[in-house]
Amino acid sequence: MKAVRYRSYGDSGVLVYEDADRPVAGPGQVVVKVAGAAFNPVDVAIRAGFMQQVFPLAFPHIPNFDVAGVVAEVGDGVSGWSAGDAVVAFLPMTAPGAAAEYAAAPAEVLAAAPRTVELADAAALPSAGLTAWQSLFEHAGLKEGQRVLIDGAGGAVGGYAVQLASQAGATVIATASARSAGRIRSYGADQIIDYTATRLLRAVAGQRFDVVLNLVRTSPEETAALADLAADGGVFVSTTTPAPADPGRGVRTVRVLVRSDAGQLAGLVARVDAGDLKIDVAERRPLADLPAVHDQAAAGRLAGKTVLTP
């Protein structure tokens, strides 16, 4: 099969599109014929070696941990899945990934793929959708009637977060560029702040929020200022820069490290099929383009979610 692999940490030049052995389903595993593998910005940091302590790799490594495809082989001890089933999954981040024609996956991380979107595009759902869900409901405990500020709503996680928060009955204030504003408004945002035209802290001066969700990289000073926007007894949740341990006023701070959860993923898929959750894919690109995708992401020129197809 064809795959993108790298044999050492480094720049995008270590990514090689080449022949590789097709994986075999071990006990508790399935092999998925890949329809789409979503790119995530953290893929760049992992490849560069910046996250070795958190995500140690065995080389050669196949990147991309979000996958959509069709079960091609079922290993011993697997029940509930058969060859031909369309599935999505958030794969273990240190295991061989989905930037290949076939990928092995633990059966326990699989969910049935949405029926209402193109299978390849469904790869854009797992880790981003789970990050949004876990941030809002597991960590922040978002409830109907609360006010939530979502900083970075134009990204993949932010788009899901706006939809989920709005459907939960929260008032959603979101930051997004003019390019993303129409989409974010259609997702249910009550107010959109164009961060390219107005400083966030100025735009929300005097306001407090029950939940502040930060999805962008911020300096320690910026992060502290964002945490200060949480109401007394509120919650500041960040997927990027950690907040001060105790910002005062009873504000709770959480740094989110998303985990794979097949049950939650199945719930998100059900929302997609019900028409309540939109999957936005900016572009599909051939798998061989993955080094260029990494370069564009590192340069800040990658807009929206990119799905790689074998």
Q: List, for residues 60-118, the tens digit of each pLDDT value.
A: 999 999 999 999 999 999 999 999 999 999 999 999 999 999 999 999 999 999 999 99
Map out the domains of the chain as residue ranges: 2-125+280-309, 128-255
Domain 2-125+280-309 has CATH 3.90.180.10: yes
3-state helix, strand, coil in the chain (%, to 5): 30, 25, 45
Beta strands 191-193 and 171-175, pairing class: parallel
What residues contact residue 198 under an 8 Å CB cut-off, 6+ apart?
none
The predicted pLDDT at position 77 comes to 98
CATH label, 128-255, candidates 3.40.50.2300, 3.40.50.720, 2.60.450.10, 3.40.50.11720:
3.40.50.720
Q: Which residue has the tokens 């993303």?
A: 180
The count of other CB atoms within 10 Å of the CB of residue 159 is 30
Task: Select from 51, 100, 2, 47 the least CA-distant residue to 295.
Answer: 47
* HSE-up (13 A, CA, CB side) for residue 19: 0
What secondary structure letter does DSSP report for 101? S
Please state, in angstroms and rounded to a whole number, the distance separating the CA atoms of residues 88 and 98: 11
Going by their DSSP bridges, the two strands 110-112 and 102-106 should be labelled as: unpaired
Please name the amino acid found at residue 243.
A
Q: Cα–Cα distance between 138 and 244 in angstroms, integer? A: 20
Residues of the chain with pLDDT below 50 are: none
Distance CA 76, CA 68 (A): 22
What does the chain come to in residues?
A: 310
How much is the pLDDT for 294? 98
